Structure 1
Amino acid sequence: MKLVLLACLATATLAAPQTYGGSDNRPQYPHIAILRDERVDHGDGNFRYEFETENGIHVNAVGTPGSEGQSNIQGFYRFPLDDGSIGEVIYVADEFGYRPESALIPTPPPLPAHAIEQIAFAEELRRQGVEWDQYGFRINRK
């Protein structure tokens, strides 16, 4: 048991970041220059900001006052991926929530044909006024 504990401790020590510095002994990260940093806030709920760094990070957002007291924001962010390509997320955040769009976001597989047919059949029955109870049994015979 002691050997396993010693092996785990050694692995954790070797996996920890090795670049330390300063009096607080925190990891030091390379300096990334900010190429652009623009911010405008009109004070009435309208704002815009955009910044870009030398390593490919790019963020842009435009905000307006929402109809229900919230801020409506449209924007995007881009960042470099490990394979050298750029990942991008475009989003809207408003009274309907946060809605991102990106090829990076996983999507479920398509429904099989028989499931689509069953859903269409159930929708047709609902249009005809058919109702079901909490167990899925039909409660009216229209």
Structure 2
Amino acid sequence: MNNFPQIIFASAVAVALTAPQNPEYLAETLSDERQDNGDGNFRYSFQTSNDISASQVGTPGILGQSNVQGSFRFPLTTGGFAEVSYIADENGYQPTSDLLPTPPPLPAHVFELLRIADEQRAQGITFN
């Protein structure tokens, strides 16, 4: 009989049990609330002892998808928190956060060009 798999498993368990536990990475669940109505409507929220939290509310979408709105938060190693709110629906995933990069504002002439293009489309002018 070959006991090699059992020896490897026992060794892995021994290493896992003797590995130092860093309290910084251990967390307890402080709250965990979930509700699923079975009709596409649902909600959940949770919070842990290391300040990680999330919540989400979902409803059926008009295209058969789930529309969700929620947020999550976790501590940053540099201090403070990362906080993200989002909506996901027919228009895609739309996150909002101070941590997300934003493009520079459009130059003023772009708005004039868009106005001219709208006028040309209204006149039936098309370009290939």
TM-score class, shorter: 0.7 to 0.9
Higher relative contact order (CA 8 A, sep 6+): 2
Instruction: Name the CA distance, whole Å, in 2 between partners of 1:75 and 1:106.
Output: 20
Letter in 1 for 2:115: A
Q: Which residue of 2 is the match for residue 23 of structure 1?
A: 15
The alpha-carbon deviation at position 70 of structure 1 amounts to 1.5
Residues 1:102 and 2:97 aligned together: yes
* TM-aligned CA distance change 1:119 to 1:95, over 3 Å: closer
Q: Which residue of 2 is the match for residue 73 of structure 1?
A: 68
Counterpart of 1:125 (choices 80, 104, 120) is 120
Higher-helix-fraction structure: 2
Residues 1:52 and 2:47 aligned together: yes
Any unmatched runs of 5+ in structure 2?
Answer: 1-12
What is the total number of aligned residue pairs between the two structures?
113
Q: CA RMSD in A?
A: 2.4
Query: TM-score normalized by structure 1?
Result: 0.67
Identical aligned residues as a percent? 53
Query: TM-score normalized by structure 2?
Result: 0.74
SS in 2 for 1:131: coil
The alpha-carbon deviation at position 77 of structure 1 amounts to 0.7
SS in 1 for 2:100: coil
Any unmatched runs of 5+ in structure 1?
Answer: 1-20, 134-142
Letter in 2 for 1:107: T
* TM-aligned CA distance change 1:91 to 1:27, over 3 Å: farther
